[in-house]
Structure 1
Amino acid sequence: MTSEIKVPTLPESIADALIVTWHKKEGDPVRRDEVLVDIETDKVVMEVPASEDGVLGKIIEGEGTTVSAHQLIGSIEAAPAGGAAPAASKPDEAAEAPATESEAGGAGQTSPAVRKALTAAGLQASDVKGSGKNGRLTKGDVEQHVAELAKAKPAAAAPAAKPAAASTTALPIVADGERVEKRVPMSRLRARIAERLLSASQNTAMLTTFNEIDMSAFIALRNQYKDRFEKSHGVKLGFMSIFLKASTEALKRYPDINASIDGDEVVYHGYCDIGVAVSSERGLVVPVLRNTEHMSLADVEKTIGLYAEKARDGKLSLDEMTGGTFTVSNGGVFGSLLSTPILNPPQSAILGMHATQDRPVAINGEVVIRPMMYVALSYDHRIVDGKGAVGFLKTIKELVEDPARIVFDL
């Protein structure tokens, strides 16, 4: 009996996808629900699991092939007599099978990011002990294992040792005077990012306004309550939550910032869905926090933390990255002092946060040292006037510099 392996249904806005990795070879035994192939779209990596136990038959479409929805890419054949495929679990062992596979770090229980790290390091999943839920293997476990192996090697042997995980874009070390180039195909996500950024710069009347924020009041408040906050909510209190809450309040006061252009019409949104730019190995992704007007600081921090983890593991779904009425990007985590963020169409504005640095400022006629952050608001001048953009950014400044205003809705 033969079972077909087909490309899953693709989102409405995506016409095709790319086969990134086959995790099995022709003739390899497979288990039901074990991940067979990773398929990359413009936004997410989709995992295609086995529909039944058996043996992987002919791979019709190999790695690097562009495919469409429901296209046949391979098959699963029935296991030959003699049991080439793994035997089914006994009834009394069935409940323990998933946990045992996870503890062993089985490939079917790991994310694409983890499998990529294992392959780059030349390791098997069973070589690394997982620290996740039910012994699930994480990318951090692989990196820590590689680091421990490197430390265990004798110091004298270190110069001759080969790096555990070489970058796919790294150039080989060559003799002086040689000029080396390397060409690698652009990922679909990177190509899509380039397309959207170019479209934003060409099809919008983008302008940027700047301001600076004295972070001393919020830093003092956070230092006072950070331990109790973490103990009560199980998450650390960071800068992103206060800026998202301040942005939400500012969006209520300046509805043009929360609007978008659709043809000849302006769409005003009666809700605040704020996207948060997150850096991942595959590129920049922007998961969306829905209805931030109803979220607490703790809700915001928890959701951002969840999205960041999913981005690292390549687990963000398309629904989590679609929509959004406004975006916040924090280049400060990488040390950026000042930048002009690019719009995320069809949104009309994006807020850019930057690094907090101690700088001399004049307050009440005296020069004092305060932790200051530059902020930037890029906006579409077709729908947002300069007065509104400046007022919006000033509102965020006032709310962050006096966090009690958010608490008391002032």
Structure 2
Amino acid sequence: MAEPRIVIVGAGFAGYQAARTLLRRARGGAEVVVINPTDYFLYLPLLPEVAGGALDPRAVSVPLQDTLPGVRLIVGEVDAVDPEARTVSYTGPEGERGHLGYHRLVLAAGSVTKLLPIPGVADHAHGFRGIPEALFLRDHLVRQVELADAAEDPAERTARMTFVVVGAGYTGTEVTAQGQLLTAAIAERHPRLHDTPPRWLLLDIADQVLPGMDKRMAAGAERVLRRRGVAVDLGTSVREATADGVRLTDDRFIPSRTLVWCVGVRPDPVVERAGLPTDQGRVRVDAHLNVAGHPDIYACGDAAAVPDLHRPGRYTQLTAQHAVRQGRLVGHNIAASYGAGTRKRYKHRDLGFVVDLGGWQATANPLHVPMSGLLARAVTRAYHLSALPANRLRTAADWLLTAAGSRPGVQLGLVPGRVVPLDTESPELARNPV
């Protein structure tokens, strides 16, 4: 290579920030290459609002080529890493194969849906990890309300108006909140459904909504959901999924045509295929985010098992906050490896969380100050606007339009069939999840 080539695998929160930092620090002294399945960075925290009809998908899609000027973008999926040969192999969007050498490598491949070996889930549940899934879910919700309106059988009408979400974490809670508002708004336009309002069920085996978060935040979110008529069923999950409904672990059968799977995530399988030391599927790194024995390889975000210096013996959590900071630090430390500055260790301070519940409701604890209602809503939206690398004006305009009007109640037809399966990996992986 004529000049140092730094290859970044993935353009999620960690990979995007690593590229951004390197472009600023390298100043043309190195070639920065990003390999990503899409040509945009997805601002994942606002994806539930896309599914709920409150935001246009372009608001959460940040173009890589426009916002990372100087980066070389390769649209493809990395499927192999050879640390000895210092190469990565990838497959392009039309099946073409490619290979690329590197001088420094950043593994920021992120995560994929965690699929548990529950009968029927892979065939009947909707995943929620990207724009195609969000758009399909939005179309599906609208379709179910319209089909319920056309149904003559009361049992079918009730089943189509029943929506089940598994996983009461950050994503599942927000998907439930946004989905409930969307289906309620659409149902109001169908007089035949006045006696059959939308029924939403949020399930989790944990003992609280938003497991692991502040209990006051969790309680506030649960109160909002229950006031809207959402049935929050804790200590319960799905035993089996069918085309006609779900069997719960307490043996109840819920007739439904909608099962949304938000159980959690696991690191992208490419991480384990790299042949590097891992822990629970995440690459083990030191406090400088360097892979042991491979001074030229770094890992960050959901792909990395990063030591938590504030909790000895434990790793940092899989959150966007950590991914953003780790990506920046990787960029800094790679620049330092070329003599620009000195390496730093990853230390963090928890800034709190925000959870958008739609309408005028939210729950948040910025700097561990608990708040809810309109104040939390203002803080939540201010945070997202400040964290978005682009599209701030478009996002704010969409929010204003949604507040002043109503959510769109028509099918977009962008995903005509079930072409976004939950199981994106092999059948063997589905049976034996990492």
Name the TM-score, length of structure 2 as normaliser: 0.22
Larger RCO of the pair (alpha carbons < 8 Å, separation 6+): 2
Name the TM-score, length of structure 1 as normaliser: 0.23
Larger radius of gyration: 1
